[in-house]
Structure 1
Amino acid sequence: MAIEHANVLRAAHLARLGVSDAQAERYVDDLSRILEMVDRLSEIDTDGVAPLSHPLDATQPLRADEAIEADRRDTFQKIAPATADGLYLVPRVVE
């Protein structure tokens, strides 16, 4: 796919970016090279290759799921206009 000067200016306008003509010309070259690389990648035979969720075989260490703050529900509900059974009561807004 060939990128033209007008395409870059149109994309910049849609993205609300201020792009000069000189910048747009440089972006034409950059975007053309990127699209050429993508076209080359699409030619690679990927049959039998399982999709990856991440390019590296890495796992994210997770912290323990522990409560780190004290339960302050009673304190907060003391100042609420209306509560019942630990819940906040609010006026009905949908009939």
Structure 2
Amino acid sequence: MDLDDQMRRYFGTDDLAAVPPPALAAGIEHMRVDLGLERDRARRFALWTLLYMLDAAPDLDVAFVDPADRDAARNLMALSERLTPDDG
């Protein structure tokens, strides 16, 4: 799954700064529904990752049945925290 393709699919653009708040909320809701319906592990992980980047991801135990997928998500979360600059 290409990130730009996913942003265009759910938000109509790959420039999230151009998405009005109601459209952003609607796109996130659409993604959450698709996540619940998706059975392909890789696609589920990609959807969850984009939701995580938008601070809208469901809890790991809700999103992933497989412990390996939860561990991969935890690794992604840890890596993203390292990449986020400290505010203090």
Q: Which has the larger radius of gyration?
A: 1
TM-score by length of 2: 0.24
Structure with the higher strand share, 1 or 2: 1
Whose helix proportion is higher, 1 or 2? Answer: 2
Structure 1 length normalisation: TM-score? 0.23
